[in-house]
C-alpha cells in the first residue's frame, strides 16, 4: 500500500526558540493525505499489507464517534478496495466524522461502552465465521502499526537531539523509539501524553526494553483526553497565525504547547535540535469551540 510519506520538514521560527538557542522543526505528516493523515496512515500501512497478504478483504476496527483512526480507515478502505466496518463506542449519533465514514462506505455498528471493552469478542460474535474479516485494534495500535511509524525517523536526513510526538496508545512513540534503537541514533524520543492519569501507557513500551531511548511527559494533558482549555485554544491560534500550520486541540496542539512550555523552563540545552512530528488529525478541528 503506498501513499507518499516523505513529508516536508519545516523550521519553526519563534523568538522563544531563538532566545533559548534551540532549533525546532516540524515533520509535516499532516500533509500525507487530507483524511488518511499523519500517524494514522503510518500505522495502517503495514496493517493493510498484512491484510492483503492474507487475502482478507474486509477490515474491522474500533473507535469513538470522533475517531481519527476510523476516519482514516474508512477512506483508506475505499481507496485501496477493502470493505470496512467500524464498531463505534456509545449510542448512535451523527457528527461530521460519522457522516464522512458513511460516505466512504464504512458500515457502522454502535455498541454500548461495556460491550465495547471486549473488542475481540465483538469481532468474534459478528465476524467469527467470515473468512475475509481482518481485525484491526483501536487506533491502529500494535507492532505492525509501530513498524510503520519507524519510517518517520528513517526519513530524517540529519540527527536530532529529541523527537517529539503526542501519545494516545503510544504506538507512534514506540515506532520512533524502535527506529532510534535500530539506527543507533543519539536521539531521545519524547512523548506528550494527551490522556490524564495514563501512566500505565508506559507498560506498552516497558516490555520492549527501550527505557533509555524515550521519555513520556504526563503533565500536559490540559484536563484529559479531548478536554481543552482556553490557554490551549489561544496557543493554537498563536501558533497557527504565526506559521500557517494548523494544530488540532486533541493531539498536536497539546504537543506543541508542551514543547513551548519546556523551552520556557530551559528544559533543552543550548544548540539542541528538536523535531516535532505533526501527526495529522486536523479533522478534529471541526469540533473546536472558540470563545472569541
Ligand atoms: C491517534 C492520534 C495520535 C495518537 O497516536 P498513538 O500512536 O495512539 O499514540 C496522535 N496524534 C494524532 C493527530 C492522532 O490522530
Atom index in ligand 1 nearest the CA of residue 166 equals 10
Residue 211, pLDDT > 90, answer no
Confidence class of residue 77 from pLDDT cuts 50, 70 and 90? very high
Confidence class of residue 197 from pLDDT cuts 50, 70 and 90? confident
Identify which of 47, 279, 283, 285 to mutate to test ligand 1's pocket (most ligand atoms within 8 A of the CB). 279
Atom index in ligand 1 nearest the CA of residue 38 equals 13
Q: How far is the CA of 279 from the centre of ligand 1 (A)?
A: 6
What digits encode the pLDDT tens for the residues 217-246?
999 999 999 999 999 999 999 999 999 999
Residue 263, pLDDT > 70, answer yes
What digits encode the pLDDT tens for the residues 124-154?
999 999 999 999 999 999 999 999 999 999 9
Is-same-fold flag (9-34+142-290; 39-140)? yes
Structural contact between residues 254 and 279, judged by C-beta atoms closer than 8 angstroms? no
- Work out the angle at residue 146's Cα, subtended by the Cα atoms of residues 90 and 197, and round it to the nearest 5 degrees: 50
Atom index in ligand 1 nearest the CA of residue 248 equals 13
Contacts of 17 (CB under 8 A, 6+ apart): 23, 24, 263
In this prediction, residue 199 carries a pLDDT of 86
Query: Coil, strand, or helix at residue 91?
Result: coil
Confidence class of residue 271 from pLDDT cuts 50, 70 and 90? very high
Which residue has its alpha carbon closest to ligand 1 atom 13? 281
**Which residue has better confidence, 287 or 278?**
278
CATH number of 39-140: 3.40.50.1100
| Cell numbers for 67 | 475517531
Atom index in ligand 1 nearest the CA of residue 170 equals 9
What is the rounded distance in angstroms from the CA atom of residue 146 to the CA atom of residue 252? Answer: 18
Query: Coil, strand, or helix at residue 23?
Result: strand
Average pLDDT on 156-171 reads: 96
Q: Residue 176's closest CA among 156, 195, 158, 194?
A: 156
Confidence class of residue 291 from pLDDT cuts 50, 70 and 90? low
Which residue has its alpha carbon closest to ligand 1 atom 5? 168
Q: How far is the CA of 239 from the centre of ligand 1 (A)?
A: 20
What is the DSSP track for 2-18?
-------EEE---HHHH
Identify which of 31, 43, 139 to mutate to test ligand 1's pocket (most ligand atoms within 8 A of the CB). 139
In this prediction, residue 203 carries a pLDDT of 86
Atom index in ligand 1 nearest the CA of residue 251 equals 11
In this prediction, residue 7 carries a pLDDT of 97
Identify which of 147, 189, 191, 281 to mutate to test ligand 1's pocket (most ligand atoms within 8 A of the CB). 281
Average pLDDT on 78-105 reads: 97
What digits encode the pLDDT tens for the residues 11-32?
999 999 999 999 999 999 999 9
What is the rounded distance in angstroms from the CA atom of residue 146 to the CA atom of residue 174? Answer: 6
Q: How far is the CA of 8 from the centre of ligand 1 (A)?
A: 19
| Domain spans, the chain | 9-34+142-290, 39-140
Residues near ligand 1 (Cβ within 6 A): 38-40, 68-69, 139, 166-172, 248, 251-252, 279-281
Residue 92, pLDDT > 60, answer yes
In this prediction, residue 188 carries a pLDDT of 98
Residue 121, pLDDT > 70, answer yes
Which residue has its alpha carbon closest to ligand 1 atom 14? 281
Confidence class of residue 202 from pLDDT cuts 50, 70 and 90? confident
Identify which of 67, 225, 251 to mutate to test ligand 1's pocket (most ligand atoms within 8 A of the CB). 251
**Which residue has better confidence, 288 or 237?**
237
**Which residue has better confidence, 89 or 204?**
89
Which residue has its alpha carbon closest to ligand 1 atom 3? 168
Average pLDDT on 199-214 reads: 89
Q: How far is the CA of 168 from the centre of ligand 1 (A)?
A: 5
The dihedral sign for the CA sequence 24, 27, 28, 30: negative
Least confident of 48-52, 95-99, 197-201, 220-224: 197-201
pTM (two decimals)? 0.97
Confidence class of residue 6 from pLDDT cuts 50, 70 and 90? very high
CATH number of 9-34+142-290: 3.40.50.1100
Residue 269, pLDDT > 60, answer yes
Amino acid at each position: 500500500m503506498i501513499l507518499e510519506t516523505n513529508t516536508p520538514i519545516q523550521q519553526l521560527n519563534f523568538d522563544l526558540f531563538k532566545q533559548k538557542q534551540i532549533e525546532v522543526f516540524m515533520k509535516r505528516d499532516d500533509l500525507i493525505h487530507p483524511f488518511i493523515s499523519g500517524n494514522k496512515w503510518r500505522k495502517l500501512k503495514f496493517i493493510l499489507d498484512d491484510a492483503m497478504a492474507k487475502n482478507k478483504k474486509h477490515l474491522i476496527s474500533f473507535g469513538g464517534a470522533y475517531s481519527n483512526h476510523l476516519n482514516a480507515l474508512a477512506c483508506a478502505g475505499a481507496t485501496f478496495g477493502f470493505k470496512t466496518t467500524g464498531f463505534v463506542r456509545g449510542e448512535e449519533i451523527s457528527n461530521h466524522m460519522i457522516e464522512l465514514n458513511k460516505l466512504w462506505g464504512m458500515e457502522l455498528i454502535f455498541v454500548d461502552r461495556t460491550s465495547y471493552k471486549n473488542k475481540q469478542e465483538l469481532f468474534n460474535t459478528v465476524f467469527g465465521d467470515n473468512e475475509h474479516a481482518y481485525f484491526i485494534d483501536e487506533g491502529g495500535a500494535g507492532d505492525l502499526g509501530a513498524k510503520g511509524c519507524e519510517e518517520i525517523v528513517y526519513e530524517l536526513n540529519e540527527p536530532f537531539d529529541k523527537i517529539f510526538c503526542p501519545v494516545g496508545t503510544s504506538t507512534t512513540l514506540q515506532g520512533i523509539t524502535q527506529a532510534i534503537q535500530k539506527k543507533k541514533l543519539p536521539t531521545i524520543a519524547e512523548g506528550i501524553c494527551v490522556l490524564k492519569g495514563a501512566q500505565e501507557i508506559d507498560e506498552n513500551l516497558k516490555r520492549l526494553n527501550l527505557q533509555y531511548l524515550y521519555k513520556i511527559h504526563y503533565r500536559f494533558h490540559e484536563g484529559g483526553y479531548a478536554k481543552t482549555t482556553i490557554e490551549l485554544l489561544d496557543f493554537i491560534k498563536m501558533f497557527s497565525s504565526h506559521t500557517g500550520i494548523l494544530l488540532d486541540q486533541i493531539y498536536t496542539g497539546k504537543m506543541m504547547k508542551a514543547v513551548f512550555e519546556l523551552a520556557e523552563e530551559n528544559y533543552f540545552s543550548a544548540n539542541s535540535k528538536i523535531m516535532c512530528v505533526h501527526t495529522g488529525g486536523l479533522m478534529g478541528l471541526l469540533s473546536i469551540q472558540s470563545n472569541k
